[in-house]
A and B are shown apart, each in its own frame.
Chain A
Amino acid sequence: MSETSKSSRSAPNMTRRLFLIGGSVVAGVAATGLIVGAGWLASHDTEGLSGKIDEDGTARLNAYVWIRPDGSITLGVPRTEMGQGVFTGLATLIAEELEIDLDDPRVSVVHPVEQLAVYTNFMLALDGVRPEDQTGPVMWAQRKLFASFPYIGTGASVSTMGAWVSYRVAGASAREMLKSAAARRWAAPIDELVADRGFVVHAGSGQRAAYGDLAVEAAAMPPTRRPDLKPASEFRRIGRDIPRVDLRAKTRGEAIFGIDAGPPDCLYGAVAMGPLLGAGVASFDGRAARAARGVVDIVQGPDFIGVIADSWWRASKAAELLEIVWTGGDSTFSSETHAAAMRQVVATGATGKVRETLGDAQAALTIGALVTADYSAPLQVHAFMEPRGGTALFHVDGTAEMWGSAQSPLALRWGAEGGAELAGIKIKGDVVCHVAMTGGGFGGRSEKREFVQAAVMAARVPGRAVKLIWTRQQDIQHGVYRSHAAARLEARLNDDGAPLAFRAHVAAQALQESFALRNLPQMAGGDLMDDEFGIEGLANLPYEIPNVEVRFTHMQTPVQIGFWRCNGHSFNVYFAETFIDEMARAAGRDPLEYRIAYAKDKRGRKVLERLKDLSGWGVPLPEGWARGVAFKPSFESFVGQVAEVSVAADGAIQVERVVAVVDCGVVVNPDIVRSQIEGSIVWGLTAGYQGGITYRDGVVEQSSFADYPVTMMKTAPRRIEVHIVESAERPGGVGEPGTPPIAPAVANAIFAATGKRLRELPIQLLA
C-alpha cells in the first residue's frame, strides 16, 4: 500500500464514531437474532439501481437518473457543489455511460432531497476504502450500516474517487433499461440498438426514440447490475474540459445559494453570541430589541439570543439592542501563551504519543542532530464568502424542513433535531433537507450549530420559515478553526548527505474529537493522542529515510477545532517541506535533485522530474528572483510545485509564477483539476502569508477581512501553470492536495532569494 493511501485514510476516521453508534444498533439486533440483524441490514439498498415512476409521471430509472414527462433529464448528484465542480464532474461520469451531453438543454443536475441509502458516502464512511474495493462480509455489513443512516456528506476530497465506478454503473444501467424498452417496443434485438446523445437508435429499421419517450417503459425494466463499462479509449466526455453546469446561472446572479434558498416570504433571524469562548446566557433584557420595528420574537438559546424579524437588517440591528448577561466562558485563553506552551512541549517533552516509528531515530540522533528547526502556525478560519447561516421551517403539521449551504444533509437534519429538542417540540417524520449551492465549504460546512440556532427560532413561528444569517464578524469569531500547531524537526544525514534519521514532534489540538463532541451523538471518546489529523503531512514522509520517529502531543484548549481544507497537511507539510529543503542545503545538494534522489514512490519521482523540466529549474532568473520547490502526495494524488518569487528593494515579496505538476490518476475533467489546483494555491498562500486567528483573553482578536486578510487579485501569483501527468491509475482527490506544497515552495524560494528561514506562520511579506 502506497504512502498516500495510508495518509488519505486518516481523513474519514471521525466516522468511526458513527460506526460505534451503528455498531451498537447491530449488536442490539444481533442479540435478538443474527438472521433478523442481517435482514435489517439487507433492507438498505446500497445500489439504488431499480426504477420507479413517481405520481407526477417522472420516471426514476435509478437513484441518479430521472426523466420527466416533458423529456427533461435530471441527474441527481448527492454531493454538495461548493465550488469544487462536483455537479459537473460526477454528472460527467453518469453522462458518459448514459450517452447524454451535459450541455443538452434537456439535462440538469441537482442535489437530491431524498436521503437514499445509496447516496451514503461509502468512501468517507469506510476509512477511505474505495467503494469498488468494499467487498466481503464485513464490508457488506458496514456498508449496510452506514446506508441505514444514511451517511451522506461531502469532504476529504473523496467525491470523484467514491463515484468513479458506481456513477458510471448507474449511467450504464439506465442506458440499458432505455435500450431494453426500445427493443421491446420495436421487437428488435437489443444488441442492434445504440444509445446516442439522448436517443435510442435502431440503424437497421431507422427507428429512433428520445429517452423521454421511452422513460416510463424503461423504469419498469430490470436494472443491469453489472454492466460493461466503456474502456478509456471510448470515453467521449471523461477526460475532456466539459464546461461547468452551474456557471451560466452564477454569472447571471440566478444561482440559489443557501442565503437565497427557502420560501421567499420567510422571516429572518439574527443572533447575539457571547464574546468569550464557551459563554452561556445567564439572563437578558430584550425590551428595547422587542420594541424595535419589525421584530417578531426573541428566543433564548443556551449560548445565544435570537431575534426574529421581518427583515434581516432589522433583526441584526435589534440584536445590537439586547442586553445580555453572559455566564461562564473562558477569559484566560490567549494564543500567544498557548503558542509558547506548544513550543515548550515540542522542545522539551517526550509527551504525547509516538505515532510512527521506523528503524531507530533515537539512536541515530543521540550523537546530535545536524539540522534542527522549530515551527509554529496559528489557528485559521474558513472565511467563506457566504457567511454561516441557514433556514428552518416547522410546518403546522409538525414536520420540519431545512435549507442551507451544507456539506451534509445530516448537518441540516441534526440542526433541526437539536433545535426542536431545545424548543421542547417533537418533529413529525423525517426532516426534509435542501442542500443549496454552497458559497464555499472548505470543510467548514458540516457543522450543525447555525442550523440548530435557525431551528430554535423557527420553532417559535410554526408555519413560517426563519432564515438565519451570521454577520461576517460572527463568522470569523464564532467559527470553527484549523488547529494551531508547533513542531520541532530534527534530522541527521549520512556522510554522503542522504537522510539517515528524521524525528518530528508536533503539538496541535485533536480535530476529530472536537468535531465529534459538537456534532455527533455522544459515546466514549478515543485517545486524543491518536488524532490522525495532527500528524498528517509529517507522518509517512514521501522520502526514503531509514530511521523515523513522529510524535504527536494533543494540547487541549477551549477552542473549537473543525475540518479545514487539507487539515494537518496545511501546517505539517510547511514544516516538513521547508525542513527537507534545509536538509538538502546542509548536504550541499540541490533541493529538487535531493527530493528526486530519495523519493519513495515512482509516481512521486515522476512528478518531481516533470516539475524539474516544466519549471525550467536551474534556468537563470532575473536579479532578485528565486525559485523554491515543495512536494506532497495527499488524498491519493501527487502534487509538486515550484514557486518563483521576486523580492523588492523594501523586502516585499511577489509570487511571480507557480508551476504545479499533478498526478491525480485518471482525470475526469482536466480544467476542473487545473481550477482546483489554482484555487488551492491561493488558499495556501492566504494561510501561509496573510493572517491567522488569535485569541486574547478568550476573545478572537480578528473580526473581518481587514484584520483577517486574504489573498487578493493584487497579491495572488501573477501566473499559475498546472500540468497534469497522464495516468491510468484510479482517480485521486483534487480539492485539497494542491494546497500543502505552496506555502513551503514559496518559503524555500524566499530562502533562496534572501537566505532567511521563516519558521513561524503566517509570514507577512507578500506585497
Chain B
Amino acid sequence: MAIILTVNGESRSLDVEPEKPLLWALREDLHLTGPKFGCGLGQCGACTVQLNGAAVRSCLLPVGALAGASVDTIEGLTRSGALKSLQDAWIAEQAQQCGYCIPGFIVAAHSLLRQTPQPTDAEIDAAITNICRCGGYLRAKAAIRRAANATGAAL
C-alpha cells in the first residue's frame, strides 16, 4: 500500500514496504542522494533530514510511520533558500574535508539554530553529534557560530 507524505514541499507516494527506512526511500525511490548512508544505526548523522521541521536520522525511521508527515532534505532546504546562511558560513570557514558528512551537519545545524538562534559552544557540542571522520569539527562549529551571528533570530 502506498504511503503518502510530503517531501520537500511536494506530495509523494511511496509504494514500498512500510518498514523501509526513510533514508533508502529518499535515495532509491525519490533519487534524493544528498542524505548519505553512514552507519544505518542512527549514530553518525550523515543521513540527517528534517521531519516536520526537526532534525532526525533517516536511516532508522520506517516510512510506514510517516504517512502525512513533512520531510525536508538538503536538496529541498537548499532550493527554498533556508540553508543559505549556513551554506555561506560553511564556505566562509572552508569547513570541509571529504564533505560526505556536510549535508547531515548543515541540516542538523539548521534545526539547532531554529530552536536556539544563538547557541553557546556547549549547546552546539550537545546538539551536533554528527561524526566527521576527517576531523573538521572546529570549522563546522565556527560555521554554525558564523551563521548564527549572520542571521540572529531570523532563521
Contacts and interface: CB of A to CB of B under 8 A. Distances in A.
A83 B98 contact: yes
A363 interface: no
A710 B133 contact: yes
B96 interface: yes
Nearest to A81: B98
Interface string A240-268: 01011011101111111101100010001
Contacts of A392: none
Contacts of A720: 138
Contacts of A440: 98, 100, 133-134
B18 interface: no
B128 to A, nearest CB: 5
Interface string B117-131: 000010011101111
Interface string B53-67: 000000000000000
Contact of B31 (A82, A83, A264, A706): A264
Interface string A684-723: 0010000000000000000011100011111011111000
Contacts of A483: none
Interface residues of B, number: 57
Given A439-B98, A678-B138, A712 B131 contact: yes
Given A386-B38, A704-B43, A706-B41, A250 B137 contact: no
Given A83-B97, A251-B90, A713 B129 contact: yes
A85 B135 CA distance: 14
Given A681-B135, A719-B138, A244 B74 contact: no
A84 B97 contact: yes
A257 B100 contact: yes
Contacts of A382: 133
B44 A243 contact: no
Say whether chain A's binding surface is mostly helix, strand, loop, or mixed. Answer: loop
B93 to A, nearest CB: 10
A719 B141 CA distance: 11
Contacts of A247: 90-91, 94, 96, 99
Contact of B101 (A82, A311, A385, A676): A385
A251 B106 contact: yes
Contacts of B36: 257, 259, 385-386, 439
B149 to A, nearest CB: 18
Contact of B133 (A250, A313, A385, A676): A385
Contacts of B135: 678-683, 686, 711, 716
A378 interface: no
B133 A311 contact: no
A383 B137 CA distance: 17
A428 interface: no
Nearest to B35: A253
Among B75, B97, B121, the most chain A Cβ lie within 10 Å of the Cβ of B97
Given A83-B97, A387-B38, A706-B41, A313 B131 contact: no
A518 interface: no
A83 B102 CA distance: 12
Interface in A425-461: 437-442
Nearest to A293: B17
Contacts of A676: 97
A618 to B, nearest CB: 26
B21 A313 contact: yes
Contacts of A163: none
B114 interface: no
Given A472-B38, A472-B41, A253 B74 contact: yes
Closest 3 CB pairs of A and B: A253-B34, A682-B135, A83-B98
20 contacts: A247-B91, A247-B99, A253-B73, A257-B100, A313-B20, A383-B133, A385-B134, A439-B36, A439-B98, A440-B100, A675-B94, A675-B96, A678-B135, A680-B135, A682-B134, A705-B41, A712-B137, A713-B140, A713-B141, A714-B126
Given A313-B24, A676-B97, 10 more contacts: A252-B75, A253-B75, A253-B102, A385-B44, A440-B98, A469-B37, A678-B138, A679-B135, A680-B135, A719-B138
